[in-house]
Amino acid sequence: MNDVIQTIAVYAIPVIFAITLHEAAHGYVAKYFGDATAYLQGRVSLNPLKHVDPVGTILIPLVLALLPFGFVFGYAKPVPVNFENLRDPKRDMIWVALAGPAANLVQAFVWVGIGTLFELSGVTEPYFGRVVSAGVIVNCVVFAFNLIPVPPLDGGRIVMGLLPDRAALPYSRIEPYGFFIVMGLVAFGLLGVWMGPIVNGLVFFFNSLSAIL
């Protein structure tokens, strides 16, 4: 039980920030390109309570904390975006989709900076080091997961924006089955094939950056 509490204590802040800023970034960029749907619903906000999903933000992380996976993961309520309101829906869809993963990369850099400040300040408490490490890992995982090229994930939106219209329309029709496709990837162990190299490469990069700083 103590291990579970420690895991939650380490990962709670990184997970909340990772998913909150990810969703807020989608809403902010959508507003910039002409769709104020999320803004009008109060979702362009850094308040985590605006983005909390009872299952994805609370239940799933708690369940994962009880399992020997070594990390806690969750998701927030998706920010509503009306792509038809965008000035150039097909093009701007790409930028809106990229905004979330980009926010996670920025956060990983910030966590490295925080870790560097701790070291320069002489902070030696292991807990803070573990939170910094969790911050980097969580954001790399959220980045890689959301870039899976299956709608409605960000990667799927990006692919739809890049495909010619005659191919984008049929591709968009798999969106209602996106969740089941991802679960299938998990069941057959293929999710790690996609995410493993990306996450490991990014974590190695940020660890190397931390060592340089």
| 61 neighbors 73 (Cβ within 8 angstroms) | yes
From 23, 84, 125, 175, the catalytic residue: 23
Cα torsion 48, 54, 59, 60: sign: negative
Peptide bond into 170 cis (omega under 30): no
Q: Residue 23 catalytic?
A: yes
What does the DSSP 8-state code read for residue 41?
T
Cα torsion 71, 104, 19, 179: sign: negative
Q: How many Cβ atoms from other residues are within 10 Å of residue 1's Cβ?
A: 6
Q: How far apart are CA 17 and CA 12, in angstroms?
A: 9
Q: How far apart are CA 3 and CA 178, in angstroms?
A: 34
Q: How far apart are CA 131 and CA 14, in angstroms?
A: 7
First to last CA, the chain: 36
How far lies 199's CA from each of 34, 89, 163, in Å? 33, 30, 26
> Any idea which residues carry the catalytic annotation?
23
